[in-house]
Amino acid sequence: MRYALIIVMSLTLVGCGSKNAEPVTSPGSEDMEASTGGEVYDAGRCMPPGPGYEVTEYDTSGDEVPDVRKLFKTMGEGSLARLVLVCREADLNGDRRKDIVRLYTDEGRPKREDADRDFDGRTDEVTHFAEGRVRLQELDTTGNGLIDTKIFYEGGQPMRAERDTANRSTAAEWKPDRWEYFVDGRTVRIGTDVNGDGKVDRWDRDEERLRNSALAKQEAEAASQ
């Protein structure tokens, strides 16, 4: 059964609202456990911050509880007014708390996505977008609340990764000790900082894969000439 709940803000008030207002607020962890009328608060972030927004909710699992929320922002005025998706969040495991939220630009292109992949109530994966494509992923693979892996993308494809395997990084300072490089999504080179000075002490290479990728690049360049 599909549910749709629309909260419509009067278009006549758009001019009074801030067009630069951020479409999300992030409640604290104490709010995630709050209950109202016996219902667990879902810690939703896609909530209208003022006039000029619409919210739609859907039940995609069929349990008669909405698990997806979309926030739209009114762009333009009068006959040029249109709704643009600026936030989408979803409850993936049915615990009535949103596990993933994606933010969009005012043009409706992906900007950032926060995800709780292990459903412990904390974000452990942050994806950044540029021009609608993934640019950077930051991961907390140990569950300690700190980023330990960063994967950098070009053209939507992973190109290299930085990892803090020694857990030396802090929220203020990033201290990787392993650098990985990819070709066609496969690791071809790994650099490791053994003594913790921030510099590579050992390189491990897949020579065959490197040769094949270099040859393929040369052939592609020759064919384009």
Q: Which long-range contacts (CB under 8 A, 24 or more apart) does 108-113 make?
A: 108/84
Handedness of CA 17, 18, 23, 29 (dihedral sign): negative
17 neighbors 75 (Cβ within 8 angstroms): no
pLDDT exceeds cutoff 60 at 83: yes
**Residue 104 identity (one-letter amino acid):** Y
- pTM of this prediction? 0.72
Query: What pLDDT sits at residue 44?
Result: 81
Q: Binning pLDDT at 50, 70 and 90, where does residue 185 land?
A: confident
Q: Which of these, 44, 58, 70, lies nearest to 3 by C-alpha position? A: 58
**pLDDT tens figures, 109-149:** 999 999 999 999 899 999 999 999 999 999 999 998 899 99
147 neighbors 132 (Cβ within 8 angstroms): no
Taking all residues of the chain, what is their mean pLDDT, rounded to a whole number?
79
Residue 88 CB neighbour total at 10 angstroms:
20
Q: Domain extents for the chain? A: 1-107, 124-225
Least confident of 14-23, 179-188, 193-202: 14-23
Handedness of CA 20, 24, 25, 26 (dihedral sign): negative
Q: Binning pLDDT at 50, 70 and 90, where does residue 31 land?
A: very low
Query: What pLDDT sits at residue 20?
Result: 33
Q: Binning pLDDT at 50, 70 and 90, where does residue 215 land?
A: low
pLDDT exceeds cutoff 70 at 85: yes
